């Protein structure tokens, strides 16, 4: 069975149909890039998968946890799937280490004595072991985003959703974040990422999803999608970004 199953998901904002019946199956360990023009529904799809947006139709299941509107189901789902945001969204009043420790301690009731080594291990994994006591505003954008990744990893999710995680970064900081994501991919983490980094998508991803007008317009391995786009919309899109 697939790790993430998205079936005929529909989402409206007022009269605006943002998702028009999305079907997508993601296997455990798969790395998937979602590309498409702005307004095509890429970010909305990710936000629906961990319940930040309510859906108007269809269903979403992650590792057996179904997306339902009540708190109990939402929290069960969010324990399975972590999310990284474009704007990092670190908690500014807490140190990097505390950012990582907070949720394991209060959600999973992990004692502080266990949460601290866990946080150090996660920060080590993103190459920031020495920044345990730094506050977010003392870190560069790339470092903040890596702390955000460590924070999500500390909850030991089955999958990670990455929503344009390098788009708010200065160009020279993009690579350090992509390197961390690349490592995660190698280690077998299931990743679903909305990205504009086409080179990265081509090198790291197993499949690429091209979204257009709220639908999965084309899907396939990167060689195929990038080298032989079948639809004029994808050809046009690739022409614009490459």
Partner 1 sequence: MSEFTTWDILRNLLLSARWTILLSLTAFVCGGVCGMIVLMVRTGRASWLRSVAAGYIELFQGTPLLMQLFLAFFGLSLAGFDVPPWLAAALALTLWTGAFLAEIWRGCVESISKGQWEASSSLAMGYLQQMRYVILPQALRIAVPPTVGFSVQVIKGTALTSIIGFIELSKASTMLTNATFRPFTVYAFVALIYFALCWPLSKASQALERKLNVAHHGH
User: Could you tell me the two tokens for 99?
Assistant: 């950012």
| Minimum gap (Å) between residue 52 Cβ and partner 1 | 6
Structure tokens given for 2: 């697939």
- Report whether 126 contacts 181 (CB < 8 A): no
Q: With contact defined as beta carbons under 8 Å apart, do 173 and 197 qualify? A: no
Minimal distance, residue 189 CB to partner 1, in Å:
16
Of 29-37, 54-62, 87-95, 124-132: span binding partner 1 (CB under 8 A): 87-95
Q: How far is the CB of 30 from partner 1 (least distance, A)?
A: 20
How far, in Å, are 96, 203, 216, 230 from residue 236 at the CA level?
42, 21, 16, 11
- The Cα–Cα gap between 188 and 191 comes to 9
Q: Which is nearer to partner 1, 22 or 153 (CB)?
A: 153
CB of residue 164 vs partner 1: minimum separation in angstroms? Answer: 13
Query: Pattern of binders to partner 1 over 90-129, x per CB under 8 A?
Result: xxxx--------xx--xx----------------------
Q: Which is nearer to partner 1, 79 or 185 (CB)?
A: 79
Site for partner 1 in 51-80 (CB under 8 A): 51-52, 71, 74-75, 78-79
Write the burial class of residue 89 (CB in 10 Å: 0-12 exposed, 13-18 middle, 19+ buried).
middle
Residue 138, token pair as written in the block: 């003392």
Q: Per the structure block, which two tokens stand in for 153?
A: 């990893």
Q: Which x/- pattern over 148-187 shows residues binding partner 1 (rule: CB under 8 A)? A: x--xx--x--------------------------------
Q: What DSSP character marks residue 189?
A: -
- Closest approach of partner 1 to the CB of residue 228, in Å: 36
| Length of the chain counted residue by residue | 242
Contact criterion met (CB below 8 Å) for 195 and 34: yes
Nearest residue (CB) to partner 1, 65 versus 185: 65
When the beta carbons of 33 and 148 are compared against partner 1, the nearer one is 148
Kindly state the helix (H) or strand (E) to which residue 18 belongs, with its residue range: strand 16-26
Q: In the complex, which residues of this chain contact partner 1 (CB under 8 A)?
A: 50-52, 71, 74-75, 78-79, 82-83, 85, 87, 89-93, 102-103, 106-107, 135, 137, 148, 151-152, 155
């Amino acid at each position: 069975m697939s790790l993430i199953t998205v079936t005929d998901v529909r989402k409206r904002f007022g009269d605006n149909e943002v998702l028009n019946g999305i079907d997508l199956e993601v296997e455990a360990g798969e790395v998937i890039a979602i590309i498409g023009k702005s307004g095509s529904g890429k970010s909305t799809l990710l936000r629906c998968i961990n319940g930040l947006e309510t859906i108007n139709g269809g269903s979403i299941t992650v590792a057996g946890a179904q997306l339902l509107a009540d708190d109990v189901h939402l929290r069960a789902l969010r324990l399975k799937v972590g999310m990284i945001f474009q704007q990092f969204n670190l908690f500014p009043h807490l140190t990097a280490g505390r950012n990582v420790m907070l949720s394991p301690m209060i959600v999973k009731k992990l004692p502080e004595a266990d949460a601290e080594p866990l946080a150090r291990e996660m920060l080590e994994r993103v190459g920031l072991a020495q920044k345990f006591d730094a506050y977010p505003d003392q870190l560069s954008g790339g470092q903040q985003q890596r702390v955000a990744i460590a924070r999500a990893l500390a909850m030991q999710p089955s999958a990670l959703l990455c929503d344009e995680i390098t788009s708010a970064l200065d160009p020279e900081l993009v690579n350090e974040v992509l390197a961390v994501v690349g490592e995660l991919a190698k280690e077998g983490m299931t990743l679903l990422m909305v990205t504009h980094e086409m080179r990265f998508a081509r090198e790291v991803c197993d499949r690429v999803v091209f979204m257009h007008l709220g639908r999965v317009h084309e899907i396939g391995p990167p060689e195929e999608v990038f080298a032989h786009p079948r639809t004029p919309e994808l050809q046009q899109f690739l022409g614009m970004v490459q």
